[in-house]
């Protein structure tokens, strides 16, 4: 038997909503006080380690029926709304609207931040360097296609610092103004998503012409304009550009995730910055790379990833991007970097920031 009527339940919800809005505004008022302190001390508005700490606490306190993911998403929007009381946060990313970079910004910073949509990743960096944006967001690697070379090259040559990282769960869809894929002759998308579903496209669309675009949102916009075309992109892009979803989740492997970096001119606040990235090159001598990395093993510093890129100054020489646990301010990391110097021709810290966790399904 249902104890309460719908009207009685709604009355209870209305009373809870009244309490919620009072509590949210109380929280926002505290945010204003923190904003005054940050303004006086020059501290950044976005403090990823503090937000991560709260999200972990939310998950530990959550008893359902909301999933941990749903509860944390609610709090991300609370962070975003509270932050907007402090400052209208401007975040640059690769556009147009509906690109995966744009969606990652919305997930990282909530809907109350302003996305500054740029036509290229290089323009994202320039927006941060010039002060036109407080932060920028750029993809750095994908679990299927690997490293994003352009972002790495820009990091090596820019004065920006890594402020935070975020793992975004990527699902690719075939979207078009056509009613079925049988009438699709041309498929547009950015090179990384095309690589993430090349197997599906080869099996199911072998005769379609594949054309690369600057972003998945650019691809969706072209598919909306051109008869007989489709795009590989996000469901949100289909909604924005009024496209049909012909096929869902066409990525070749489950667990397709992209790691995004948030960049700023000042880097991440020190408390909670427990992951570090650097770029370095080695001298031309036997064992140079081994000797450069050995100090990390001696101090038991966990190396999380290493990628190589062609040197911007010498042909057939390389620079290395290294991610490891620990902060640039910690004694073991300082010691390891000092010991690394004799084997390295240059070392450039890219910043210490809070380590994020890859997406966990079913959470």
Active site residues: 258, 260
DSSP assignment of 224-242: HHSTTEEEEE-HHHHHHTT
Tokens matching residue 362 = 């079913």
Peptide bond into 96 cis (omega under 30): yes
For the range 118-124, what are the long-range contacts, defined as Cβ-Cβ under 8 Å and sequence gap of 24 or more? 118/92, 118/93, 118/94, 119/94, 119/95, 119/214, 120/94, 120/214, 121/94, 121/148, 121/150, 121/151, 121/154, 122/150, 122/154, 123/92, 124/92, 124/93, 124/94, 124/263
In sequence order, what are the residues at sequence separation of 6 or more whose Cβ sits closer than 8 angstroms to the Cβ of residue 333?
Answer: 276, 299, 301, 324, 326, 327
**For residues 298 and 275, is the Cβ–Cβ distance under 8 A?**
no
**Cβ contact 294:344 at 8 Å:** no
Q: Phi/psi at 351 (nearest 5 deg)?
A: 125, 155
Measured CA to CA, the distance from residue 352 to residue 349 in angstroms comes to 8
The span from the CA of 187 to the CA of 291, in Å, is 47
């Amino acid at each position: 038997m249902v104890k309460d009527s719908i009207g009685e339940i709604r009355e209870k919800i209305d009373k809870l909503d009244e309490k919620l809005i009072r509590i949210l505004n109380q929280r926002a008022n505290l945010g204003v006080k923190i904003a005054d302190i940050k303004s006086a001390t020059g501290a950044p508005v976005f403090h990823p380690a503090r937000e991560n700490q709260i999200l972990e606490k939310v998950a530990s306190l959550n008893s359902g029926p909301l999933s941990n993911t749903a509860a944390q998403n609610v709090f991300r929007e609370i962070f975003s709304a509270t932050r907007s009381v402090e400052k209208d946060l401007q975040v640059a990313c690769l556009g147009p609207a509906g690109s995966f970079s744009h969606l990652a910004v919305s997930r990282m910073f909530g809907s109350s931040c302003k996305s500054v949509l740029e036509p290229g990743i290089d323009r994202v960096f320039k927006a941060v360097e010039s002060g036109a944006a407080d932060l920028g967001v750029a993809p750095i690697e994908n679990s299927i296609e690997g490293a994003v070379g352009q972002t790495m090259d820009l990091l090596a040559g820019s004065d920006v610092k890594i402020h935070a990282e975020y793992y975004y769960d990527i699902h690719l869809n075939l979207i078009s103004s056509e009613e079925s894929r049988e009438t699709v002759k041309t498929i547009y998308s950015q090179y990384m998503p095309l690589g993430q579903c090349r197997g599906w496209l080869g099996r199911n669309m072998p005769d379609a012409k594949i054309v690369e675009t600057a972003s998945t949102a650019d691809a969706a916009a072209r598919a909306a304009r051109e008869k007989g075309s489709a795009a590989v992109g996000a469901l949100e892009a289909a909604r924005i550009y009024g496209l049909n979803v012909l096929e869902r989740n066409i990525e070749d492997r489950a667990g397709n995730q992209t790691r995004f970096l948030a960049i700023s001119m000042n880097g991440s606040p020190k408390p909670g910055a427990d992951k570090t990235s650097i770029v370095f090159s080695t001298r031309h001598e036997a064992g140079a790379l081994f000797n450069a990395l050995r100090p990390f093993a001696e101090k038991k510093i966990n190396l999380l990833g290493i990628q190589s890129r062609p040197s911007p100054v010498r042909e057939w020489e390389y620079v290395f991007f290294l991610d490891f646990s620990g902060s640039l301010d910690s004694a073991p990391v300082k010691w390891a970097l000092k010991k690394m110097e004799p084997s390295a021709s240059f070392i450039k810290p890219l910043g210490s920031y809070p380590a994020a966790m890859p997406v966990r399904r079913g959470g």
